[in-house]
Amino acid sequence: MPAPSPTSFIDVVDEQNHAVGVAQRHDVFRLHANFRTVHVLVFNNQNDLLLQRLARSRSRHPGLWGSSVAGYLHAGEKYAEAAQRRLLEELGLSTPLTEVGVTPMKDEGITKFVGVFTTTADHPRNVAPDQIAEIKFFPLPVIEKTMVSHPNNYTDTFRYVLSFWREIS
């Protein structure tokens, strides 16, 4: 099943992350409807973290660095299913995932529930060049240093996800 398109249906959830309906993906911000996303942090065997730079053509956060993998869940889809699907769709990987947890995050006044996972892979490839401008591994200290000196180079969600992962790990 491909990633949800702007007209695909995704679950609308309440403040406790219980599904209460569905909406087309492109309508959730207009409707102020809470929703679900998934992020995967991909590390290599040297413990460097893979980041993706979003394509300049993206409507949200063009050209910014973000999580290794990210995406919306289809209506009725589980977080782990979406994480595996997006890992394959974006990086051509089918690797075991470790669940970190789910964290709520405010985004333009609504709550998105972000399922966070990690995995290890040394040779991902960009199989979604229309969405991803480039992928690159960085040592964690380099990411954390540049996030302080140049925070606007990173998506808000990635900064939040990395902080959540650090708290849990």
Query: In sequence order, what DSSP letters do the residues of 99-154 get, joined into one string?
Result: EEEEEEEEETTEEEEEEEEEEE-S------TTTEEEEEEE-HHHHHHHHHH-GGGB
pLDDT in tens, 5-40: 878 899 999 999 999 999 999 999 999 999 999 999
- Residue reference for tokens 């470790």: 98
What does the alpha-carbon distance between residue 98 and residue 130 come to, in Å, rounded to a whole number?
Answer: 28
Residues with Cβ within 8 Å of 61's Cβ and at least 6 positions away in sequence, in order, are 54, 155
Is the pLDDT score of 162 beyond 90?
yes
DSSP-derived 3-state class of residue 70: strand
pLDDT in tens, 100-149: 999 999 999 999 999 999 999 999 999 999 999 999 999 999 999 999 99
Classify domain 9-168 by CATH number: 3.90.79.10
Tokens of 19: 């599904």
Q: Are strands 132-138 and 19-24 parallel, antiparallel or unpaired?
A: unpaired
Buried b (16+ CB within 10 A) or exposed e, 46-75: eebbbbbbbbeeeeebeebbbbbbbbbbbb
Q: What's the chain's length in residues? A: 169
Is the pLDDT score of 1 beyond 70?
no
Rounded mean pLDDT, 162-166: 97
Q: Are strands 69-72 and 132-138 parallel, antiparallel or unpaired?
A: unpaired
Q: What is the pLDDT of residue 4?
A: 64
Residue 64, CB half-sphere, CA atoms under 13 Å: how many?
18
pLDDT in tens, 53-89: 999 988 788 999 999 999 999 999 999 999 999 999 9
Domain boundaries, the chain: 9-168
Confidence of residue 49 (pLDDT cuts 50, 70, 90): very high
